[in-house]
Structure 1
């Protein structure tokens, strides 16, 4: 799902992505290494984060598409829930944590589900009100 398909402004979407990325980098130890030192370690951490996020995006896209084809229901929000859940399960497997996988499955699935519902129903979450 590209940011333009969500009912958010570009700036709000980028801010949310930046905050999420900073939290993930902190959890992986990026901030434990002082700036200007051990650049190889910092590069390795950011590469692992980027690879994981890219894999989650690919899993989401493929699962959503295949679910829509199998169910013969291309515009159903349930397809997005399944795609988000599959991405969450991958994250749990990557972190070796069933708790992370289960909560990410539920969280990403619900977020993707309502993202699709918002797009179908033209919800506006951010921006000036329509008069």
Structure 2
């Protein structure tokens, strides 16, 4: 599923069809959040079913919001700057996702650190795409 989402994201040129890019990054963030919430609920059992559902929703929707902000900020910055293949657009998107996480946790420190880390990770992802790095390597036999 992750490969399908990444392929769908790569099919759309940067700086175009922001609504589709935002939808794909939101779905990818939601998928990652659902996986994280499943681990959280399984490894730290909740006292009630309601608490487990609330925790799962909190992680899933937070990750989906981070993905949405990444997709929107990346696409809009590519349109505004008129440089669609610039890794700085991805840093801006990653930073926007990090600021979203900081707003969710009500912490300036979390916002600043996650802005730098998510922006750097997104920039490296874009540089890797431009230089032909394999994100999911095919097994060689």
When normalised by structure 2's length, the TM-score is: 0.68
Q: Compared with structure 1, are the counterparts of its residues 23 and 97 closer, same or farther at alpha carbon in structure 2 (3 Å cutoff)?
A: farther
Q: Could you say which residue in structure 2 is the equivalent of 1:65? A: 75
Q: Could you say which residue in structure 2 is the equivalent of 1:31? A: 44
**Is the 1:63–1:83 contact (alpha carbons within 8 Å) kept by the matching residues of 2?**
yes
Give the count of matched residue pairs. 113
**Superposition RMSD on alpha carbons, in Å?**
2.9
Write the deviation string for residues 61-120 of structure 1: whole angstroms up to 9, x where unpaired: 000011001100011110000000000011001101111111100010000001000011
State which structure, 1 or 2, has the greater radius of gyration over its C-alpha atoms: 1
Q: Compared with structure 1, are the counterparts of its residues 66 and 128 closer, same or farther at alpha carbon in structure 2 (3 Å cutoff)?
A: closer
Stretches of structure 2 that go unaligned for 5 or more consecutive residues are 11-31
Larger RCO (CA within 8 A; separation ≥ 6): 1
Q: Compared with structure 1, are the counterparts of its residues 68 and 94 closer, same or farther at alpha carbon in structure 2 (3 Å cutoff)?
A: same
Of 124, 127, 131, the residue aligned with 1:114 is 124
Structure 1 distance, partners of 2:100, 2:138, is: 37
Structure 2 distance, partners of 1:107, 1:23, is: 24
Per the TM alignment, residue 54 of structure 1 is displaced from its structure 2 partner at its CA by 0.8
